């Protein structure tokens, strides 16, 4: 999986990272909307991270002492 949300149009091979293109399923190269089955949306893989230690995913940090971020 990729590191960023993207959409890939099978017809022309164009890959877009634009959130509006993904939401509307629009191809900026063909200037048309993609029909079902002609695109692939790849989501980021939050389980894997770079580095030898593997790392971890943090959604938010809150202090256990006083509950303030």
pLDDT tens digit string along 11-54? 999 999 999 999 999 999 999 999 999 999 998 776 655 555 55
| pLDDT one-digit tens code per residue, 49-59 | 555 555 665 65
pTM of the model: 0.60
pLDDT of 67 over the 90 cut? no
Under a CB-based contact definition with an 8 Å cutoff, are residues 20 and 34 in contact?
no
Question: Structure tokens of 13?
Answer: 């091979």
Q: Which two tokens stand for residue 19?
A: 């959130």
């Amino acid at each position: 999986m990729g590191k960023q949300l993207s959409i890939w149009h099978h017809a022309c091979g164009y890959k877009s990272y634009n959130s509006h293109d993904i939401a509307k399923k629009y191809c900026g190269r063909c200037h048309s909307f993609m029909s079902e089955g002609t695109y692939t949306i790849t989501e980021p893989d939050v389980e894997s991270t770079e580095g030898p230690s593997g790392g971890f995913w943090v959604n938010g940090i809150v202090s256990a002492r006083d509950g303030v971020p």
